[in-house]
Amino acid sequence: MEEDEMDSLFEGMVLFTPNNSTNKSELDLETHNRHDLVNNQPQQLPLQQQHDYAQDPAAVESHQPPSSSSSEPLDENLFSDLTLQFQTPTQTQEEDVVQIPTSKPTPTPTPKTTSRHNSTSRRKKRAAGLRIGYARSNSNSKVDDDVDDVYVDDDNSLPLPPISSTPVGPTTLPSVSVEEQVVVANDQVEALPELRLDQSKALIADKLNRTRQSAASVSVSRKDAIARRRAAADHLNLASLEYANLEKQLEEACEAEDFDTAQRLSDSLAAAQKQKQALLDALRDAEANCDDLDSKMHHLLQSQIAAEEECASLLQRFATDASNDADLVLQTAEAHSSKETDEWLSSTEALQAKKMELEIESHIIHDAGLSLNTSIDTLVEDDKLEKECLCKKKDILMDELDKLLALVKRKEQEIAQNDHDIKQVEERIDRALSDFQDMQSNIQAKSSDLQAGLSQIHAETEALSTKKTEINAFLTQEQEREAKLRELARASAEEAETYQQVATLRKTLMSSILKSREDKVRLAKTEEELSKDVQMLQQDVSATRATLQELSSKKSSIQQDIATSKQKILFIDKRVPELEAEKKVAATARNFKEAARLAAEAKSLNVEKDGIQIDMERAILELEKLEQEIKETVNRLQETEGHIQSKEKEVATARFERLLLISGIAKAEREAALELGDLEEANLLLAEAEAADSEAKKLQPIYNLKLEEVESLPKHFISMELISNLGRKQLEDLAASVQPSQE
């Protein structure tokens, strides 16, 4: 009964570490059996018995040791229902953005256990979990780790607790070199935004410099064109003065009836008219050239505005990209930090679990050592008592030997037999002690391995602490990088806003210039069209006057013919009576031949008179028609001259407005030239403005023009070159000064 109670201490107890690998682990089973002694003598323990469970690792035979009547009862429920489970992640770590490889765990080999007959090497894999307690799991539970169970099949046997040493492997830690590579990669990525911003600014500066250089080139060409236009205008003014002088001289010659001088002046006037027209064409070409250069300047200013808007868009896009990069960096850093933190937590939990496992195993080994010592004492207690009894019996027998000398031979045999029994008991005790000595050595070796494992766990805990510090430092560095990217994005957005504001200001100011330029071009086209109309009307007047002159000449000729006919009729009327009288005289004188001649002559004169009268009547009718045609021509001429005067006034009005625009634009350009320090261009523009004002003042009294009636004249003129060269602050001031005047 006592052996049954003692054997129940570790009865059915199994220590195993299940995992999900498909590799079949070997199962080493050491059993120490003692042979039954005949006639209640103790059996000897065998050395080791190893069973290979490679064919069926899921099943482990449990041998129930027989009861021992000499053992004291122990607590059967010492490890009853004791269960400790821990599951570590087996999934492969995913690669990070920077692809940080993780090293695989390297299990520490299990120390070899040496027995008296053979030495067995055990290779164990890292456990994914630990369960301690009675083997009461489901029937389909698998055991794939090494289990060492000791069973005693003797009446005097003592069951030993199964001891399984879990190998302690180093925890997976990212290598330092990989972290350094990550830092270098992050530095390279961090340098990219600044490089992109510098490249963008360089591109912006290059575009704006090219635009400014083109504007400067056009400004130089425009300066030359203004000089040529001023020279052409001066030449045209001189030619106009000469033409007016010739007209005045021609009128004086006509009044003085100096027709030779008038003819010579008329020829000179025609040549002067051709020269004036050529100079007018040259002036128009110069003005067209200036307008073309103004158009080029306008296009360049539009290109500059477009470039500034493109710069603003580029910087705004960079700001958006930098902000998105900052968000991505922060998200990546947080994800990487979260992943590293999860790995760190997993490793920490695994270390804590292994530490707890080793502490429990150490506790079990310690308890097993205590139980072993107690079991040894309990196991040899009967033998010691038997030895004491035999020694006492020997003493009694020695006493009996002394007392019974007669029975010496028989007693000597009994003593020899008793000594033999004592020797056997001592040998049995020595063997038992020797067997348990191996187990004690094994327990001490495993305890040393456990202490080494605990030390290694402490070292790995320190490494995990260092890794946690590195994770926090990496997260801090990425947060600083994210803040730097956001600062770059903010600066880029502000610069983009500045470019956009400048482009908007240039557009706003450009609209006023564009309107003035369109008005100037419109007025020039109107003036040119009206001038062509005036020329056509003047040509019509000249043609009408020529026609009127022809009609007048024809009328004079007809009037002369009528007067001649009248004189002829008067002559005939006077001659016919004379002929009649002479005919009567000749007839009276009976000069019939003379009378016949006179009668024929009188008759001929009458016939001629009739013909003359008919012709005269026809001429009178034609004269009436000519007079009507002349009247109509005169009316048409007067009407055309009225149209000419109206068109000339329209031309003068358009020219007056255009001259005011030219004067205002020239004054604005002069102010810009003075501000930019170009005195030569300022003087040319001043002369042009004064000439335009002078001509406009001359037109005012002639055509009764008033400055207040001009609606298209802006109140404030702005120079395109000034808009192109001014900065944001100056443009704001200029826009502020222009806005109230426009309102």
pLDDT digits (tens, 9 = 90+) for 603-618: 898 899 899 999 999 9
Q: In whole angstroms, what is the distance from residue 712 CA to residue 656 CA?
A: 12
Report the pLDDT value the prediction gives residue 407, as an integer from 0 to 100. 67
Is residue 262 within 8 Å of residue 253, measured between CB atoms?
yes
Is residue 165 within 8 Å of residue 126, measured between CB atoms?
no
Q: In whole angstroms, what is the distance from residue 188 CA to residue 260 CA?
A: 98
Report the pLDDT value the prediction gives residue 512, as an integer from 0 to 100. 77
**Which residue, among 25, 48, 55, 130, has the nearest Cα to 87 in the 3D structure?**
130
pLDDT over 90, % of the chain: 6
Q: In whole angstroms, what is the distance from residue 244 CA to residue 246 CA?
A: 5
Is residue 83 within 8 Å of residue 190, measured between CB atoms?
no
Domain assignments of the chain as residue spans, ordered by start: 1-94+125-164
Backbone dihedral angles phi then psi of residue 256, each to the nearest 5 degrees: -80, 0
CB-side exposure of 353: number of CA atoms within 13 Å?
Answer: 23
Strands (E), 540-656: none
Task: Compute the mean pLDDT over every residue in the chain, rounded to the nearest whole number.
Answer: 73
Residue 177 has pLDDT above 60, yes or no: no
Neighbours of 232 (CB within 10 A): 20
Name beta bridge partners: 114: 119
Confidence bin at 639 (pLDDT 50/70/90): very high
Residue 187 has pLDDT above 70, yes or no: no
For residue 698, the surrounding DSSP H or E stretch is helix 679-703
Report the pLDDT value the prediction gives residue 739, as an integer from 0 to 100. 61
Burial (CB count within 10 angstroms: exposed 0-12, middle 13-18, buried 19+), residue 138: exposed
**pLDDT per residue over 108-132, tens digit each?**
443 334 444 444 444 444 433 444 4
Least confident of 6-20, 377-391, 464-478: 6-20
Report the pLDDT value the prediction gives residue 105, as an integer from 0 to 100. 40
Confidence bin at 46 (pLDDT 50/70/90): very low
In terms of pLDDT, which residue wins out, 522 or 439?
Answer: 522
DSSP at 1: -
Average pLDDT, integer, range 691-704: 88
For residue 461, the surrounding DSSP H or E stretch is helix 408-588
Report the pLDDT value the prediction gives residue 40, as an integer from 0 to 100. 40
**pLDDT per residue over 202-249, tens digit each?**
888 887 888 878 888 888 888 888 888 888 888 888 988 898 898 888
Q: In whole angstroms, what is the distance from residue 582 CA to residue 577 CA?
A: 8
Instruction: Please give, one letter per residue, the 3-state secondary structure of 172-237.
Output: CCCCHHHHHHHHHHHHHHHHHHHHHHHHHHHHHHHHHHHHHHHHHHHHHHHHHHHHHHHHHHHHHH
Question: Can you give the pTM of this predicted structure?
Answer: 0.50
In terms of pLDDT, which residue wins out, 73 or 525?
Answer: 525
Angle at 444 between CA 442 and CA 448, to 5 degrees: 115
Confidence bin at 367 (pLDDT 50/70/90): confident
- Those residues with Cβ within 8 angstroms of residue 200's Cβ, 6 or more apart along the chain or in another chain: 314, 315, 318
Report the pLDDT value the prediction gives residue 468, as an integer from 0 to 100. 83
Residue 695 corresponds to which tokens in the numbers above?
Answer: 């001509």
CA torsion 88-91-93-94 (nearest 10°) is: -150
Report the pLDDT value the prediction gives residue 611, as an integer from 0 to 100. 92
What's at 328, amino acid-wise? L
Report the pLDDT value the prediction gives residue 142, as an integer from 0 to 100. 40
**pLDDT per residue over 542-578, tens digit each?**
898 888 888 888 889 999 999 998 898 999 888 888 8
Report the pLDDT value the prediction gives residue 191, as an integer from 0 to 100. 52
> Over the Cα atoms of the chain, what is R_g?
68
Q: In whole angstroms, what is the distance from residue 421 CA to residue 412 CA?
A: 14
Confidence bin at 423 (pLDDT 50/70/90): confident
Residue 651 has pLDDT above 80, yes or no: yes
CA torsion 341-342-343-347 (nearest 10°) is: 100
In terms of pLDDT, which residue wins out, 139 or 641?
Answer: 641
Report the pLDDT value the prediction gives residue 632, as an integer from 0 to 100. 92
Confidence bin at 712 (pLDDT 50/70/90): low
Name beta bridge partners: 134: 13
Is residue 157 within 8 Å of residue 66, measured between CB atoms?
yes
**Which residue, among 686, 171, 72, has the nearest Cα to 376 in the 3D structure?**
72
Least confident of 7-11, 142-146, 301-305, 406-410: 142-146
